[in-house]
Amino acid sequence: MTPLLLQAQGLTAGYGKMPILHDVSLDVRAGEMVSIIGPNGAGKSTALKSIVGFVKVSSGHVRFDGQEITGLRPDQVLPRGLAYVPQGRIVFPQMTVLENLEMGGYIERDGQRIREALEQVFGLFPILSERQRQKAGTMSGGEQQMVAIARALMTRPKLIMLDEPSLGLSPKFVSLIFDKLMAMKHSGYTLVVVEQNAAKALAVADRGYVLELGRNRFEGTGAALLADPEVKRLYLGG
């Protein structure tokens, strides 16, 4: 069996004295795409933020690539190969596409490795290669989301975590972003995707987790969760 790349065990975390997550656990194996779904306020985004270090974990453990990373800051986690794409298509609007991507590779000092990373990113997102001189702020929402994802890939991460990558996009771009996620998986990336679009997220996932009120509710293969009558009734609208 492929080794565990990420193991979050018994995470309780939140903002101030308010816990949002209660004893949440999830595992990710190298090469997998894992989707996290659940209703609004279920703690999906908080789970990612607590793993990356944006939210303080009050109990539980996070191990990544064999190392304990519980309680580390995001700037300490990133160089270990864990990338995070927050929700909201955050780009530097006044910078060109190329400058945005170069900002993503800021921890890499080796010019050759930056060029190789750019080549790989342009292979996955040819439109960004064509538009590399365009200011990111003048692009459509879907194109900006591609810039945000591509920028995170510039560190050549072992694991990339994406928070609501299809949020607020037109149906055309939702399909395109999911196609890109699949292409990333086929290129060898390991992905964790938090997604409102539950049916689509489970359809592309090797495995999925359903969170509700900050707790683990269901877990299983993407196909098994899609077929589960209880999951269908509660989360997939039918």
pTM (2 decimals)?
0.91
Beta strands in the chain (DSSP E): 4-15, 18-29, 33-37, 57-64, 67-68, 82-85, 159-163, 191-194, 207-212, 215-221
Mean pLDDT rounded to a whole number for the chain? 91
Q: What is the pLDDT of residues 15-40, one digit of tens each?
A: 888 889 999 999 999 999 999 999 98
- Of the chain, the percentage scoring pLDDT greater than 90 comes to 72
pLDDT higher than threshold 60 for residue 109: yes
Segment 129-173, tens digit of pLDDT: 999 999 999 998 889 999 999 999 998 899 999 999 998 888 888
- In our burial notation (b when 16+ CB lie closer than 10 A, e otherwise), range 12-51 reads bbbeeeebbbbebebbbbeebbbbbbbeeebbbbbbbbbb
Domains by residue range for the chain, with CATH? 1-81+159-173+190-238 (3.40.50.300), 88-156 (no CATH)
Task: Determine the average pLDDT of the residues in 198-214.
Answer: 95
**Residue 103 to residue 20: CA distance in whole angstroms:** 32
Angle between helices 141-153 and 111-124 (to 10 degrees): 140
Please answer whether residues 54 and 226 qualify as being in contact, where contact means their C-beta atoms are separated by less than 8 angstroms. Answer: no
In the predicted structure, residue 187 carries a pLDDT above the cut 70: yes
Give the pLDDT score at 206: 96
